[in-house]
Amino acid sequence: MTATELPTGPEGLTTDLVARLVAEQVPGARVSGMEIIDSHLWGSGEASSAGRIDIAVDYAAGSPEGLPRRLIAKIARVDPDDTPSRRESRGGLYATEVMVYTRFDPARLVEAPRVLGGTYDPVSHHFVLLLEDLRERGVRFANGTVPTSLERMRSLLAQLAKLHAQFWNSPALDGELAWMEHHTRGRLYDMFNTPGNAPAAIAWLVDTVQFKREMVERLGQSAASLFAQFQAVQRHQATLPRTVCHGDMHIGNSYILPDGSGGLIDWQLTSKGFCMHDISYLLASGLSVAERRAHERDLLAFYREQLLEHGLTEAPDAEVLWREYRRAMVWGVYIGWLTTPVVNYGWEITVMNHLRVMTAYEDLETAKAIAELP
């Protein structure tokens, strides 16, 4: 398959491509037909860093039982204003997500979508990822405008603790998972740290989008000072115990099952790093300001209990987790939301997340905690 054959819209998605990807991922599965139901492309306010195509597939006789008939095909976003450098950087997201789903397969460990196939082209930086359509299981998708109960937050923390405990300082991180990204090296690191990539985009957004600029000014910070703090925390976290992190654990990357429990989606930033990278972002983005202030220490204690329940005898003590939780909040401010244009999620969700993570940054005296690093 050549670079030009991977679709960037519904018109390019063929039965042959879907059938090949499913056959490569699921032994014995054969797709005999496909119907495109709907599409949600970047720029519509319904897609962030990738587009989605809703499809229905038919399986030939002899295929394994229980395969989902409704699928989501994730595809590369097309932005006519992109530079080659930005397309290549975004390709790091796509390559990571395809590898995480097809090689790591989060659904075997935690509540996450089942993968049916995927491929990434390093020339065009296009990709296709086939996942079960979670709506067929009656799930609802979360975001900052949908209240998150403490029960569901504990469910999400339990999922993350299960993931983190299994790979805590595991030899697998440098063995079978050596291909996985790291916070201080690799394509994702380059995307977030190369001056012409994310830092340039963030500086431009802070300069040109009034609510971003004034929120940053309210913190007494600048795009440059937050960048320096973000890098300091990355360097520091590289000295702490490593595990597999979801990597982009804002509340919008979770879903709600019919029983009220939660699951995890969008594994584009999965990497080897320190656990608070996930936990700080989830709590700050998922709870109202008042709920976070009232419950964050108790929820951190619950998370630690879950680590212990999953056999992690060397779980950090409560004060270490609290200190690193405070420091990790800069990621959600700088990379999590300052880098996100309004077009990705719309005005209300975007502003709500800025408000929540920046208030947490201020409440927790994140800048002071980072300044205390040696």
Residues 252-282: tens digit of each pLDDT: 999 999 999 999 999 999 999 999 999 999 9
Residue 71 banded pLDDT, cuts 50, 70, 90 = very high
Is residue 220 scored above 70 in pLDDT? Answer: yes
For 242, how many CA atoms within 13 A lie in the half-sphere containing its CB?
21
Cα-Cα-Cα-Cα dihedral sign, residues 275, 280, 325, 221: positive
Q: Which of 47-56, 224-233, 273-282 bottoms out in mean pLDDT, i.e. has the lowest?
A: 47-56
Strand pairing partners for 104?
none
User: What is the CATH topology of the domain spanning 139-371?
Assistant: Aminoglycoside 3'-phosphotransferase; Chain: A, domain 2 (3.90.1200)
CATH architecture observed for domain 3-135: 2-Layer Sandwich (3.30)
3-state secondary structure of 98: helix
Q: CA–CA distance from 16 to each of 13, 57, 299, 316 (Å)?
A: 9, 12, 47, 50
Q: Which residue ranges make up each domain of the chain?
A: 3-135, 139-371
Q: How much is the average pLDDT of 157-170?
A: 98
DSSP conformational letter for 314:
T
Is residue 1 scored above 80 in pLDDT? Answer: no
What pLDDT is attached to residue 2? 44
| Residue 149 CA, distance from chain mean position | 21
The DSSP code sequence of 1-66 is --GGGS-SSGGG--HHHHHHHHHHHSTT--EEEEEEEEEE-TTSSS-SSEEEEEEEEEE-TTSPTT
Q: Starting at the earlier edge strand, list the strands of the sheet with 181-182.
A: 181-182, 271-273, 243-245
Q: CA–CA distance from 315 to each of 144, 156, 233, 234, 320 (Å)?
A: 30, 18, 20, 20, 10
What pLDDT is attached to residue 48? 61
pLDDT tens column, 133-150 = 999 999 999 999 999 999
79 with 49: CB under 8 angstroms? no
Q: Which of 1-10, 15-24, 34-43, 102-111 bottoms out in mean pLDDT, i.e. has the lowest?
A: 1-10
For residue 169, give the nearest of 110, 244, 103 by alpha carbon: 244
Place of tokens 């939301």: 337
132 with 117: CB under 8 angstroms? no
For residue 159, give the nearest of 267, 44, 55 by alpha carbon: 267
Strand pairing partners for 59?
31
262 with 256: CB under 8 angstroms? yes
What pLDDT is attached to residue 50? 83
What pLDDT is attached to residue 82? 66
What pLDDT is attached to residue 43? 59
Q: CA–CA distance from 81 to each of 77, 84, 86, 87, 208 (Å)?
A: 12, 10, 10, 10, 16
- How many residues would you count in the chain? 374
Provide the percentage of residues in the chain whose pLDDT is more than 70.
95
Is residue 88 scored above 70 in pLDDT? Answer: yes
Residue 91 banded pLDDT, cuts 50, 70, 90 = confident
Q: How much is the average pLDDT of 155-169?
A: 98
For residue 373, give the nearest of 248, 193, 235, 264 by alpha carbon: 235
For the chain, give the mean pLDDT.
94
Q: How much is the average pLDDT of 157-166?
A: 98
Query: Quick count: other Cβ atoms within 10 Å of Cβ 288?
Result: 15
Q: How much is the average pLDDT of 42-46?
A: 56
283 with 289: CB under 8 angstroms? no
Q: How much is the average pLDDT of 212-221?
A: 98
Q: How much is the average pLDDT of 206-221?
A: 98
